């Protein structure tokens, strides 16, 4: 992208505030909370906070805690279209920009064997929704509408636009 980044994990509470908090509100809040936490440690930096979640019918699919939860996720997503929301917040001491990117992902029908075999790879454990489109999980994706980089976890086109504006001294809020 032409920028130098340092990854700094932000340990925040990722609980949903309420069932009425929409997936786009949820990822925007988390991305901003992550950015604000890191800005407090690095006050002279431009901070990028990002959070991604998988959702269907306003239900949020986080990282599966165990096989049972993963199985539930895959059973619901199998053969259906769901949404992936990625919140993106860019902040410094004086400016804040927060947005989100929504993409649609359609899974193929997954058999019980597909679900068990995929879990056995270990890939789903730390992934929102229990899958990685850029990994083995991509073989279960029928089609995508939207930003693949956002589904992976970093909406590159949107981030480039915001960072270029920041570097040019724009975006004052």
Against a cut of 0.85, is the pTM above it?
A: yes
pLDDT at res. 18: 83
Cα separation, 100 vs 21, in Å, equals 14
Output the CA angle 54-85-59, nearest 5 degrees: 40
Average pLDDT along the chain: 92
For domain 23-167, the CATH architecture is: Alpha-Beta Complex (3.90)
Instruction: Give the residue from 48, 115, 104 showing the smallest Cα distance to 78.
Output: 115
Q: Using one digit for the tens of pLDDT, what is the confidence trace for 7-46?
A: 998 989 888 878 889 999 999 999 999 999 999 999 999 9
Q: Catalytic residue among 11, 13, 44, 51, which?
A: 51
Does the pLDDT at position 6 exceed 90?
A: no
Q: Is the pLDDT of residue 171 over 80?
A: no
CA distance 3 to 131: 28
51 is catalytic: yes
Q: What is the tens place of the pLDDT at every residue in 114-152?
A: 999 999 999 999 999 999 999 999 999 999 999 999 999
Q: Using an 8 Å Cβ cutoff, are 87 and 158 in contact?
A: no
Mean pLDDT of 52-70: 95
pLDDT in tens, 74-108: 999 999 999 999 999 999 999 999 999 999 999 99
pLDDT above 90 covers what percent of the chain?
Answer: 80
Amino acid 1: pLDDT:
56
Which residue is listed with tokens 């995929």? Answer: 118
Which pLDDT score is estimated for 2? 67
* Residue 173 reports pLDDT greater than 60: no
Quick check: 170 pLDDT over 70? no
């Amino acid at each position: 992208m032409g920028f130098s980044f340092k990854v700094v994990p932000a340990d925040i509470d990722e609980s949903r505030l309420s069932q009425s908090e929409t997936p786009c509100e949820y990822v925007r809040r988390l991305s901003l909370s992550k950015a604000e936490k890191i800005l407090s440690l690095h006050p002279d930096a431009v901070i990028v906070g990002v959070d991604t979640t998988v959702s269907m019918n306003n239900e949020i699919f986080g990282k599966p805690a165990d096989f049972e939860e993963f199985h539930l996720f895959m059973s619901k997503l199998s053969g259906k279209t769901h949404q992936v929301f990625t919140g993106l917040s860019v902040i410094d001491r004086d400016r804040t920009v927060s947005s989100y990117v929504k993409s649609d992902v359609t899974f193929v029908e997954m058999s019980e064997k597909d679900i068990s075999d995929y879990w056995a790879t270990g890939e789903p454990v730390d992934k929102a929704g229990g899958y990685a489109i850029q990994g083995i999980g991509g073989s279960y994706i029928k089609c995508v509408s939207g930003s693949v980089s956002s589904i992976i976890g970093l909406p590159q086109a949107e981030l480039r636009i915001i960072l270029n504006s920041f570097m040019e001294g724009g975006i004052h809020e």
